């Protein structure tokens, strides 16, 4: 069976740019630096790197391996590999969990990408001139109350994403990521360099890289495991779908190391873009989700060259958001294309169109139907909990079990020939005995609160 549509990446560079783009999302840009600073700085980074390479790398390798060997959408890839190993084809349900997670994330994430595009427009047209803390808070509150405005920019983001998916792997996804991802790295480096001279850089370095081992405890370790697991983008179907387009000539092991290193580098660079401005203008570094939309516009208003900085910053965020959306949508699109035997053009319109319709519910959850839900939780809260606390860790756990205990050692070895015998033995041990209990802990803690 061939990959959905019979398409493959034209080069390792294209695959890496697409995979890094999928892994690097808006959460990396603001959440990783914030969590790092709150959990011991460099001490947390050390633990995070251990988790990323000890848990994230093995499971990402497993996901790409299953995708390439199964040569299909996540459900068919899992079923094909299970059948090859004389196991039940019901393992396709694990692939289905990844697709469901991607789809539920898309619905809410599309609205957030819409905010970024709206703020990019605001940056271009006003540069946040004269904005103070009260004005920034009121402006974001106004955004959350303006359903037509949010819907317009959400549809703009989905239209861009849909056009990329509609155009195919080589003409759409590859062309987009070849431009967006190098541009995003250049923007990050440029903005961080600007901050080095503008002020607050020393304080940001201390916030991110001064180890405070007194803050290290079980909660910090769990935070590091969770950040590593979710940051890399495993168990969402996207990486398995990208793996199905991967030629056998490309090393999975080497590619995964590059993806994880690039993902971590972007997160740390983002800290050197955001926090110098925060510290230089005495703003709140613990502003969480409001950091991008409420706190930083105040800094843009005060800094020399703030207009240009704000435009480039939100352009960089837009690239991160769109490339992540592409990976999420492509996994579902590949399944629809394969399951119903329709052309990519039609499946792209169906998937993006359905996300657009359901995103209306997500947007209205910020205002009109914010009080409707279960146990005081609105639609967005429920979608977030269902995907991040249940589907992703449970899917990741079952994926690790599948790669370590269902696939034969010979089949796995055949897909990872460049690791060498010692490297493969390390991976095989981790995927069987380390990853499953670690992800199980994430799942149990998430469910029990």
User: In angstroms, rounded to a whole number, what is the distance separating the alpha carbons of residues 219 and 231?
Assistant: 18
Q: What is the mean pLDDT of residues 189-197?
A: 95
Q: Class for domain 4-448, per CATH?
A: mainly alpha
pLDDT at 30: 78
Domain boundaries, the chain: 4-448
Over the stretch 399-413, which tens digit does the pLDDT of each residue have? 999 999 999 999 999
Longest dimension (CA), the chain: 67
Over the stretch 307-316, which tens digit does the pLDDT of each residue have? 999 999 999 9
User: In angstroms, rounded to a whole number, what is the distance separating the alpha carbons of residues 346 and 266?
Assistant: 35
Burial of 90 (0-12, 13-18, 19+ CB in 10 A): exposed
pLDDT at 33: 86
pLDDT at 368: 92
pLDDT at 1: 44
User: In angstroms, rounded to a whole number, what is the distance separating the alpha carbons of residues 422 and 325?
Assistant: 37
Radius of gyration of the chain (CA): 21
| Mean model confidence pLDDT for the chain | 93
Over the stretch 32-68, which tens digit does the pLDDT of each residue have? 888 888 888 899 999 999 999 999 999 999 999 999 9
Instruction: State pTM to two decimals.
Output: 0.95
Looking at mean pLDDT, say which of 71-80, 226-235, 376-385 comes out highest. 71-80
44 neighbors 35 (Cβ within 8 angstroms): yes
Indicate the range of 3-12, 80-89, 207-216, 355-364 predicted with least confidence: 3-12
Task: Say if residue 2's pLDDT is above 70.
Answer: no
Over the stretch 325-373, which tens digit does the pLDDT of each residue have? 999 999 999 999 999 999 999 999 999 999 999 999 999 999 999 888 7
Q: What angle do CA 104, 180, 363 make, to 5 degrees?
A: 30
Q: Which residue has the tokens 């959905």?
A: 4
pLDDT at 205: 94
80 neighbors 71 (Cβ within 8 angstroms): yes
Percent of the chain with pLDDT over 90: 80
Residue-by-residue DSSP string for 99-124: HHHHHHHHHHHHHHHHHHHHHHHHHH
Residues in the chain: 449
User: In angstroms, rounded to a whole number, what is the distance separating the alpha carbons of residues 102 and 355?
Assistant: 11
Q: Which of helix, strand or coil describes residue 217? A: coil
| Secondary structure element (H or E) that encloses residue 270, with its range | helix 252-280
pLDDT at 449: 66
pLDDT at 380: 93
Task: Say if residue 4's pLDDT is above 60.
Answer: no
Task: Say if residue 145's pLDDT is above 50.
Answer: yes
């Amino acid at each position: 069976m061939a990959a959905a549509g019979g398409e493959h990446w034209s080069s390792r560079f294209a695959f890496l740019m697409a995979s890094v783009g999928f892994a690097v999302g808006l959460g990396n840009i603001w959440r990783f630096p914030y969590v790092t600073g709150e959990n011991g700085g460099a001490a947390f980074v050390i633990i995070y790197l251990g988790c990323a390479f000890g848990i994230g790398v093995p499971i990402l390798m497993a996901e790409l391996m299953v995708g390439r060997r199964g040569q299909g959408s996540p459900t068919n890839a899992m079923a094909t590999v299970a059948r090859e190993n004389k196991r039940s084809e019901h393992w396709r349900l694990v692939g289905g969990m990844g697709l469901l997670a991607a789809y539920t994330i898309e619905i809410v994430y599309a609205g957030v990408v819409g905010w970024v595009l709206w703020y990019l427009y605001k940056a271009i047209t006003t540069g946040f001139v004269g904005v103070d803390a009260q004005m920034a808070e009121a402006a974001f509150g106004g955004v959350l109350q303006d359903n037509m405005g949010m819907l317009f920019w959400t549809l703009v983001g989905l239209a861009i994403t849909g056009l990329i998916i509609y155009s195919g792997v080589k003409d759409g996804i590859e062309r987009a990521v070849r431009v967006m991802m190098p541009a995003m790295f250049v923007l990050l480096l440029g903005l961080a360099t600007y901050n080095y001279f503008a002020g607050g850089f020393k304080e940001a370095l201390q916030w991110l890289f001064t180890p405070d081992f007194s803050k290290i405890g079980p909660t910090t370790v769990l935070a590091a495991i969770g950040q590593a697991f979710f940051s890399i983008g495993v168990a969402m179907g996207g990486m398995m779908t990208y793996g199905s387009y991967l030629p056998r000539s490309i090393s999975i092991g080497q590619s995964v190391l590059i993806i994880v290193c690039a993902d971590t580098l972007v997160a740390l660079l983002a800290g050197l873009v955001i926090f110098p401005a925060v510290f230089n203008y005495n703003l709140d570094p613990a502003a969480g989700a409001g950091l991008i939309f409420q706190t930083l516009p105040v800094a843009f208003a005060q800094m020399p060259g703030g207009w240009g900085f704000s435009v480039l910053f939100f352009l960089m965020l837009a690239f991160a958001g769109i490339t992540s959306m592409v990976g999420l949508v492509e996994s579902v699109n590949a399944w629809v294309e394969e399951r119903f035997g329709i052309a990519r053009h039609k499946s792209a319109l169906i998937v993006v169109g359905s996300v657009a319709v359901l995103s209306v519910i997500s947007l209205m959850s910020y205002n009109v139907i914010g009080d409707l839900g279960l146990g005081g939780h609105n639609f967005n809260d429920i979608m977030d909990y269902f995907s991040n606390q249940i589907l992703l860790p449970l899917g990741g756990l079952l994926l690790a079990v599948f790669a370590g205990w269902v696939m034969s050692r010979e089949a796995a070895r055949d897909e990872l020939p460049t690791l060498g015998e010692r490297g493969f033995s390390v991976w095989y041990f981790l995927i069987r005995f380390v990853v499953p209990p670690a992800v199980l802990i994430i799942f149990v803690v998430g469910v029990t609160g």
